[in-house]
């Protein structure tokens, strides 16, 4: 079958580290164009790929079927809108947009034009999250009553880059919040309420670099935490159920592997070296819970298959709307100092259920 021609907008951290290598690794995708202001960097890494200075050359090219947007957060919505209006299928790096209103506008536009619209929620294919899903499916923990998910880094010095600047869409919550939220929604669905504190902790900080968010459910509590000031010691996941607990340390290895130039899907790709401990009432003591390999390279083949068969992509646009609604509710909660209920339409509430897909 003919490979799908794809263009990548942006060759910054996300484009260079994640999207370009994963697109190159996908056997059914032809990465044939990259929009970047740094052509020398693109040519050094991908000498056979055409480089253009702006997106107009991409949108005017009838051979391009899929456009991947890996530009600064504030540009996601306008670029996605332009690509959809040009008749292109679109994948947007997280966060989908800056607001729920923008997200809904894009969903309606994609639906009206019969085009695929998806969001790159790669952390669904983290080794530890895949292992957690298997753990829950096996019933090892029983009903989960307490769930803690932390995504921490240690960068005490503020860096001069847009992600840490004062612009719209900057800050840790827009950067890591979509990952934390998406994983929680996949496991537990839409929360009844959101209570959050989102703050600037570092000296000279221009945007939030610390977030503590509580998702409230009738039968459980979910804690999501992100910080730029944790140098170690905290578990990535701590999950407690009526029949046992699971504790996992360390982040998934795939991002570091991509940064080191490891080819996706190769030997030892996605293997997680972090400690993974299961403790259950049925078996005394703690035991190692083996994790599957991470699988970021599954995303783009699934996108292509969805386009060709007109089926649901691996991350649906409605799911991305719900993530934005919870992200926005957390920002509002932090600002107002009270619990906020995510405002969702009925079809959006079903987005993370089997019938909603």
Last residue of a domain, one of 120, 135, 156: 120
Neighbour order of strands in the sheet with 50-52: 50-52, 29-35, 4-9, 66-69, 89-93, 117-120
- Three-state SS at 308: helix
Last residue of a domain, one of 120, 148, 175: 120
Peptide bond just before 104 cis, omega within 30 deg = no
Total tally of structural domains belonging to the chain? 2
**Percent of the chain predicted with pLDDT > 70:** 99
Q: What is the pLDDT of residues 228-252, one digit of tens each?
A: 999 999 999 999 999 999 999 999 9
**Number of helices followed by number of strands (H, E) in the chain:** 12, 14
Spatial distance between the Cα atoms of 216 and 132, rounded to a whole number of angstroms: 20
Helix or strand (DSSP H, E) at 2: none
Q: Do 268 and 163 lie in a common domain?
A: yes
Spatial distance between the Cα atoms of 325 and 321, rounded to a whole number of angstroms: 6
Q: Do 132 and 116 lie in a common domain?
A: no
Reported as a pLDDT band with limits 50, 70 and 90, residue 357 is very low
Residue 126 has pLDDT above 60, yes or no: yes
Q: What is the pLDDT of residues 86-119, one digit of tens each?
A: 999 999 999 999 999 999 999 999 999 999 999 9
Q: Do 106 and 180 lie in a common domain?
A: no
In a domain, 72, yes or no: yes
In a domain, 316, yes or no: no
Residue 285: predicted pLDDT: 86
In a domain, 215, yes or no: yes
Q: Do 186 and 104 lie in a common domain?
A: no
* Alpha carbon separation from 206 to 213, 250, 257 (Å, rounded): 20, 28, 30
User: Which residue is listed with tokens 């996108």?
Assistant: 303
Residue 283: predicted pLDDT: 86
11 secondary structure, DSSP code: -
Among residues 296, 277, 298, 295, the alpha carbon closest in space to that of 287 is found at: 277
Q: Do 78 and 132 lie in a common domain?
A: no
- Indicate the average pLDDT of the chain: 96
Reported as a pLDDT band with limits 50, 70 and 90, residue 353 is confident
Last residue of a domain, one of 82, 103, 120: 120
Residue 350: predicted pLDDT: 94
In a domain, 356, yes or no: no
Domain that holds residue 215: 123-294+327-336
Q: Do 36 and 175 lie in a common domain?
A: no
Residue 67's CATH number: 3.40.50.720
Q: Do 130 and 106 lie in a common domain?
A: no
In a domain, 312, yes or no: no
Mean pLDDT of 244-272: 95
Among residues 146, 150, 139, 143, the alpha carbon closest in space to that of 179 is found at: 150
In a domain, 314, yes or no: no
At residue 171's C-alpha, the angle toward residues 84 and 251, to 5°, is 95
Reported as a pLDDT band with limits 50, 70 and 90, residue 157 is very high
In a domain, 320, yes or no: no
Q: Do 133 and 282 lie in a common domain?
A: yes
Q: What is the DSSP string of 14-78?
A: HIIIIIHHHHHH-TTEEEEEEE-S-HHHHHHH-TTSEEESSTHHHHT-TT--EEEE-S-GGGHHH
Residue 281's CATH number: 3.30.360.10
Reported as a pLDDT band with limits 50, 70 and 90, residue 45 is very high
Residue 297 has pLDDT above 80, yes or no: yes
Residue 277: predicted pLDDT: 97
Q: Do 146 and 221 lie in a common domain?
A: yes
In a domain, 354, yes or no: no
Residue 356 has pLDDT above 60, yes or no: no
Q: What is the pLDDT of residues 298-338, one digit of tens each?
A: 999 999 999 999 999 999 999 999 999 999 999 999 999 99
Q: Do 147 and 290 lie in a common domain?
A: yes
Q: Residue 154 class from Cβ within 10 Å (0-12 exposed, 13-18 middle, 19+ buried)?
A: exposed
Q: Do 180 and 288 lie in a common domain?
A: yes
Spatial distance between the Cα atoms of 319 and 348, rounded to a whole number of angstroms: 7
Residue 221 has pLDDT above 80, yes or no: yes
Q: Do 170 and 253 lie in a common domain?
A: yes
């Amino acid at each position: 079958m003919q490979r799908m021609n794809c263009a990548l907008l942006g060759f910054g951290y996300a484009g260079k580290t994640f999207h370009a290598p994963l697109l190159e690794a996908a056997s059914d995708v032809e990465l044939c164009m990259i929009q970047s202001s740094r052509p020398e960097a693109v040519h050094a890494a991908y000498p056979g790929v055409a480089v253009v200075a702006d997106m107009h050359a991409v949108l005017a090219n009838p051979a391009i079927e899929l456009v991947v947007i890996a530009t600064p957060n504030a540009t996601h919505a306008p670029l996605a809108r332009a690509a959809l209006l040009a008749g292109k299928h679109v994948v947007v790096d997280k966060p989908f947009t800056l607001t729920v209103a923008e997200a809904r506008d894009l969903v309606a536009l994609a639906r009206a034009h019969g085009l695929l619209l998806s969001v790159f929620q790669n952390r669904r294919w983290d080794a530890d999250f895949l292992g957690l899903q298997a753990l829950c499916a096996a019933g090892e923990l029983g009903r989960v009553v307490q769930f803690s998910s932390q995504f921490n880094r240690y960068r005490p010095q503020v860096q001069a880059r847009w992600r840490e600047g004062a612009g719209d869409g900057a800050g840790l919550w827009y950067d890591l919040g979509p990952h934390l939220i998406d994983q929680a929604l996949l496991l537990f669905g839409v929360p009844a309420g959101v209570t959050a504190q989102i703050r600037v902790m570092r000296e000279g900080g221009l945007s939030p670099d610390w977030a503590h968010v509580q998702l409230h459910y009738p039968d459980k509590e979910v804690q999501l935490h992100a910080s730029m000031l944790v140098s170690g010691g905290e578990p990535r996941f701590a999950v407690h159920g009526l029949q046992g607990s699971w504790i996992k340390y360390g982040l998934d290895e795939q991002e570091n592997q991509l940064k080191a130039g490891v080819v996706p899907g190769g030997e030892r790709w996605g293997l997680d070296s972090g400690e993974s401990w299961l403790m259950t009432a049925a078996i005394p003591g703690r035991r190692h819970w083996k994790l599957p390999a991470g699988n970021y390279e599954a995303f783009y083949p699934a996108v292509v298959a969805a386009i060709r068969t007109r089926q649901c992509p691996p991350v649906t646009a409605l799911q991305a709307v719900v993530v934005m609604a919870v992200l926005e509710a957390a920002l509002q909660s932090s600002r107002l100092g009270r619990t906020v209920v995510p405002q969702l339409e009925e079809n959006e509430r079903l987005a993370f259920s089997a019938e909603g897909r």
